[in-house]
Amino acid sequence: MTKTEQIKVEPQLETPPLLKTVILSSSLLTERMLLYSSLLPALEDRAQVELWTTSDKNLNFKDENGAALTNVEPFPLIKPFREFPYNHLRRMNEFAWDYRLRPPSRIGEMRRIRDKETRLHIRSLKLPARVLAMLKMERVLEDWLEGLLLSYSRSPEGAERLATAIPDVLISTGTFRFEEPAVAAAAIKLGIPTLAFITSWDNPSTKNRMVFKYDGYLAWSEQMKQDLYHFFPYIKEAPVYVIGAPQFDVFFQPRFYETREAFCARSGLSAERPIVLYALGSPNLFYEHPSVFYLAERIACGELGDAQLLVRPHPLHDRGLDLAELRQLGPRIVVQETGQSGLSVPTRAQNEEQIRDWVNTFRHAAVVVNLSSTAAIDGAIFDKPVVNLDYDPAPGQSRQALVKEINHAWPHFKPIAESGGMWLVNNPAEMVKAVKTYLAQPDLHRKQRRAMAERVCGFLDGSCGERMAAALIDFSQQNKTRLKDRIRHKRR
């Protein structure tokens, strides 16, 4: 080799280190999203993921090939805040924001339900809260309260585990629930970047306050993003990623699809008959059994032709119906099992078979009946006509006004209920008429149904988990850039 010859050396690209991520999960409604969406496969070569879960059932989670895509650990021990002064001040803060923002959802629920159940000494906090709201001091109160609550360690175990692991980012999927804010607070105190996933479209307008400020937020849609800005003004100062609803990724995964014949055989249904699906909501809000039994009786006697009824209890609240009475109506009435009896709500989980049940229940339904629940969106994604109760089915109709407020005033549901994508019914007879009409004309309101689902979900392509992964990576990179800039600025 002569002196003039040069050796060409290809640059060696350094493989970026895996992003250390801890994800908190305290509900099967979010955990099924984490485990069965496209999130974990999208992070496989980019991040080292630990899932801290309240569900013992998922501690040994494996994917469909028997592989562990993530390390699953039990949730740290949590203790509650002391009632005084912490919980008293939290309630006062919530009252202050309610008086300032006047959200129809929270004001209506307070007036019709919570005031009757709340103890007198808590209700007495409304007066100082009202004064603070009149003086526009609610944000000052909340900022001060955040510091106070951060000073109270609710999870020493969580703090110790985070201090040992030092993750690059912590994701909370339950910022409005009891367990996760305790660990998120520990992360905030340790300086670990935090990302809050707002896991349902109604959370900003119906839930209690998120007192802690996270470094970034994940939302389903642009509408949810605007809702966050309205109810939590400080969020405008943080990045908000619109990623869609990863929980619905499974609706687009053929591996969960079953033929109609196979699903009906497993479920005790007839593949030849149309399926009317009644999807129950939370029993804590409405007692829907009378409307279920009314529809079941009409179907059993043949008033709706050859149709059959499948009743699906809410998976978080499946406590069983009066099955003996339903069974007496004949083989056309079937009740699905969705819960795990004997388990508390945070410890419940859904395995692949239950995910398959969920997906195919809506895939093979002909009509979906519900009372102002997300089941309406489940049905709309699969282009199933949706009948929505606009009345309280309980005897005496003590919550009739509340039903009307949800459908026609609550900010998350009013645009859906009045979109034309669902049929609002005012009594049991109208419910039966709407179901019969949809069975005969399944294309009715199709365009409006699609628009309804798109408004709520943001994206309907089965790739929301991938967008969530991309947001996580971008958030981490942006955070590292900001940290470098701060260090550079200090050195000057």
Q: Please name the helix (run of DSSP H) or strand (run of DSSP E) that holds residue 325, with its range, or none.
A: helix 323-327
Burial of 285 (0-12, 13-18, 19+ CB in 10 A): middle
Q: Tell me 209's DSSP state.
A: P
101-159 tens-digit pLDDT: 999 999 999 998 888 889 999 999 999 999 999 999 999 999 999 999 999 999 999 99
Token pair belonging to 343: 């388990």
Tens-digit pLDDT profile for residues 4-35: 334 344 444 455 688 999 999 999 888 998 88
What percent of the chain clears pLDDT 90, i.e. is strictly above it?
78
pLDDT tens-digit series, residues 329-352: 999 999 998 866 667 778 888 888
Is the CB of residue 368 less than 8 Å from the CB of residue 375? yes
Q: Is residue 488's pLDDT more than 60?
A: no
pLDDT at residue 348, as a whole number: 81
Question: CA–CA separation, 394 vs 71, rounded Å?
Answer: 45
Closest CA to 340 of 351, 325, 356, 324: 351
Give the C-alpha distances (Å, rounded to integers) separating 450 from 101, 358, 419. Answer: 31, 20, 10
Around Cβ 109, how many Cβ atoms within 10 Å?
A: 19
pLDDT at 2: 42
pLDDT recorded at residue 482? 67
The CATH T-level fold of domain 19-79+154-248+462-491 is Rossmann fold (3.40.50)
Task: Report the distance separating Cα 172 and Cα 352, nearest Å.
Answer: 23
351-370: pLDDT as tens digits: 889 999 999 999 999 999 99
Per DSSP, the three-state class of 100 is: helix
Residue 155 tokens, joined: 């999870």
DSSP 3-state of 93: helix
- 167: number of Cβ within 10 Å: 22
Query: For 399-425, how does the pLDDT look when each residue is reduced to its tens digit (9 = 90+)?
Result: 999 999 999 999 999 999 999 999 999
- Average pLDDT for residues 437-459, to the nearest whole number? 97
Residue 367: strand, helix, or coil: strand
For residue 256, pLDDT over 70 is answered with: yes
Is the four-CA dihedral 473, 476, 480, 485 of positive or negative sign? positive
- Residue 1 has what pLDDT? 43
pLDDT at 57: 74
| CA–CA separation, 17 and 5 (whole Å) | 36
* DSSP string of 428-463, one letter each residue: HHHHHHHHHHHHH-TTTTHHHHHHHHHHHHS--SS-
Give the pTM.
0.92
HSE-up (13 A, CA, CB side) for residue 337: 8
Handedness of CA 229, 234, 237, 242 (dihedral sign): negative
Of 209, 252, 223, 217, the C-alpha closest to 238 is 217
- The larger pLDDT score, comparing residue 389 to residue 72, is at 389
Cα gap 332→309, rounded to integer Å: 6
Measured distance CA(80)–CA(65) in Å, rounded: 39
- CATH number for the region 257-457 comes to 3.40.50.2000
Question: Angle 404-406-250 (CA atoms, 0-180°, nearest 5)?
Answer: 135
Counting Cβ atoms within 10 Å, is residue 400 exposed (0-12), middle (13-18) or buried (19+)? middle
Tokens (6 digits) for 199: 């896991």
